[in-house]
Amino acid sequence: MNDVPGRVGVIGGGRMGAGIAHAFVLAGAGVVVVERDDEAAASASARLLESVRQSVERGTTDIGYDALAAAIETATDAAALAGCHLVVEAVPEDRELKLAALARAERVLGSDAALATNTSSISIDDLASGLDRPERFLGLHFFNPVPTSQLVEVVTGAATDPALVDDARGWITALGKTPIVVRDSPGFASSRLGVALGLEAIRMLEEGVASAADIDAAMQLGYRHPLGPLRTTDLVGLDVRLGIAEELHRRLGERFAPPELLRRLVADGHLGRKTGRGFYEWSEQR
């Protein structure tokens, strides 16, 4: 039987940070969320308490609302992370911001504590370069939305202690999610494969091989893909996918070169479901 750490810190209580904090609280941990200022801390607290209330109402936890709320703290100073067994950084995807947040956390943590980042694209080894204890550091790449996403990528840096990887697998399993272990590499496993499929589907559409709906149906019915690569791209956001493709193109070469059709749709503001149009029309379903 796996357990989560007793006290977990989360740096950045935005979309992902609040979701990660929510997952650990429901699994029985005490959680402290550190935000950049009082206003952001108040919004993070409200976001987190609302999602906890919904979980209690849906009956997805046996713990009562008051006990869950009492297990949540918010703060604006990294000093509040002292005593945490695990800290997960979830500030915006900016290298300098993450390096600073991780270094501040490491200074107040005990030498046995684990430090993790939820980065989607920054190298774990690069972020570890600013730390004194890189062996206690790894990636925990949660997916959005955290409560309903099954997968967490446990991303190992060159210096990550294998015992920490084992612990992390146990923690993710205790959250009711499935860990996969991935060596630090561009796009980890999920973005690299997901984007490769998405880009090829866009090239096929561009070349007139089949319609968007038929390309998606090929993957849905032929390979049990839940949505199809083009519909998935519409949901993720064409701009988000283009950004990842550009990064993978830079680091892994020509096979990730973004197709012209993707660039054109993004330039025209057709970003997928969030703007009402991508490869499909979404006006009815927004």
Ligand X SMILES: NC(=O)c1ccc[n+]([C@@H]2O[C@H](COP(=O)([O-])OP(=O)(O)OC[C@H]3O[C@@H](n4cnc5c(N)ncnc54)[C@H](O)[C@@H]3O)[C@@H](O)[C@H]2O)c1
- Residue closer to ligand X (CB basis): 99 or 215: 99
Name the residue number minimizing CB distance to ligand X. 14
Min separation Cβ 6 and ligand X, Å:
22
- Residue closer to ligand X (CB basis): 5 or 13: 13
**How far, in Å, CA of 184 to CA of 117, rounded?**
12
Residue 243 host element (H or E): helix 238-252
**How far, in Å, CA of 174 to CA of 18, rounded?**
18
- Residue closer to ligand X (CB basis): 11 or 205: 11
- Residue closer to ligand X (CB basis): 177 or 203: 177
Min separation Cβ 66 and ligand X, Å:
25
The CA distances from residue 82 to 109, 137, 230, in Å, are 5, 16, 45
**How far, in Å, CA of 168 to CA of 173, rounded?**
9
Min separation Cβ 40 and ligand X, Å:
4
Residues that bind ligand X (CB under 6 A): 11-17, 34-36, 40, 44, 90-93, 97, 101, 118-120, 143-144
The CA distances from residue 222 to 140, 214, 227, in Å, are 31, 11, 12
- Select from 111, 21, 18, 34 the least CA-distant residue to 78: 34
Give residue 16's region: left, alpha or beta (phi > 0; psi -120 to 50).
alpha
Min separation Cβ 278 and ligand X, Å:
16
Min separation Cβ 30 and ligand X, Å:
19
- Residue closer to ligand X (CB basis): 75 or 252: 75
